[in-house]
Structure 1
Amino acid sequence: MTKSDLSVLTQIETLSADQAEAELAALGEVLWACVQGGAGIGFVLPFEKQEAVAFWRSRLAGLGAGERHLLVARVDGRIVGTVMLELAPQDNGRHRAEVAKLMVHPEARRQGLAGKLLAAVEDLALSLARTLLVLDTVTGDTAESVYPKAGYSRVGVIPGYAQAARGGLDATTVFYKQLG
């Protein structure tokens, strides 16, 4: 499949809590495959598919309450990527949100899906009057290069921030982007 084929077949959509619940297995598959591939997204090995589904199930209430929003990328109808927008709940933070769980299934990488998901989550943030986005990612991971290309500014690195999927501790790099 070429990049141009993928762009025709790719659909980015926002899932409601009910839609996400109906897609728990597919969402779990993306998360599970990313963790198996060593992605530093909050989980350590061993990591079972039912744990991945349980993670997404634990996010349904926040989706239903409007505290977070879930976007997915589909190729030929199959979910192959995700990103969440976590809204800051504080009165003095109603202008900001966190970008979380940007994932692309290993089989669908290197096709520009991460960039498409970021662009879509930024559009969503603006529609919700959220003009400052923050995120963190494992320092040195291939995903780290995605954010500067999308206009995110690097704040710095926190050493020993999180346990790595395969053991040890990883540093995290913090980014932000002002929108609009």
Structure 2
Amino acid sequence: MQPQIFELDGAAIEGNLDALSRILIDSVADGAAIGFMAPVTAEDAARFWLMDVRPAVEAGRRLLFGARYDGETVGTVQLLTAMPANQPHRCEIAKMIVHPRARRLGIGRTLMSHALERARELGKTLVTLDTRTGDVAEPLYASVGFEVAGIIPDYAFDPDGRAKHATTFMYRRIEAAAAT
């Protein structure tokens, strides 16, 4: 079974809020280093999706993709497209999250492939991201063509607040879509 990838607009974020929040809450509880400290409450998760993500999606500054597997929304990734004036060729991958019970099913790879294709369609030629050094996602990113740009030690705390971890910055060049 292949995951279905879909793009969420503001209304779809609200319509999928419970699933998006559950993915975030359960992933952080499982140790995902995605900018949150454990435990993430339902209110914190809803606030993130509705107050941080939705306005940026509605303003066209980011794209949000979801992944359905067996009829359930189990993953998400964001493509940040609003860059400084001297970086119109670049975008960033952010918050690539797959629910812990849905990992190792090809969902992350499918989400990444879709986001990279959309970046190409938008004329972007460079995609960047950062990930916890040694995280399970790092080999996934390398397998879809990302290269290591560098590592910063003690960059952020783990979700449990007990230790700091290094962060690996990665990039991938892509060819822009041919003009039609």
**Which bracket does the TM-score occupy, shorter chain normalised?**
over 0.9
1:85 aligns with: 79
Residue type of the alignment partner of 1:48: T
Residue type of the alignment partner of 1:61: P
Find 1:96's aligned residue among 76, 90, 95: 90
> Using the alignment, how far apart are the partners of 1:27 and 1:40 within structure 2?
16
Residue type of the alignment partner of 1:115: R
The CA deviation string for residues 3-47 of structure 1, in whole angstroms up to 9 with x for no partner, is: xxx22xx21011111111211111101011110100000011122
Residue 110 of structure 1 deviates from its aligned partner by: 0.5
Correspondences of 1:1-180 after superposition (within 5 Å) = 6-7=1-2, 10-58=3-51, 59-167=53-161, 168-180=163-175
* 8 Å contact kept, 1:34–1:105: yes
1:3 aligns with: none
Q: Comparing both structures, which one devotes a greater share of its residues to helix? A: 1
* 8 Å contact kept, 2:25–2:39: no
Residue 89 of structure 1 deviates from its aligned partner by: 2.9
Residue 88 of structure 1 deviates from its aligned partner by: 3.4
Q: TM-score, normalised by structure 2?
A: 0.93
Structure 1 unaligned segments of length 5 or more: list them. Answer: 1-5
**Aligned-residue CA RMSD (Å):** 1.0
The answer to which of 33-42 and 71-80 deviates more is: 71-80
Secondary structure of residue in 1 paired with 2:86 = helix
Residue type of the alignment partner of 1:28: S
Secondary structure of residue in 1 paired with 2:34 = coil
Residue 87 of structure 1 deviates from its aligned partner by: 1.1
Q: Which runs of 4+ in 1 moved over 3 A?
A: none
- Give the length in aligned residue pairs: 173
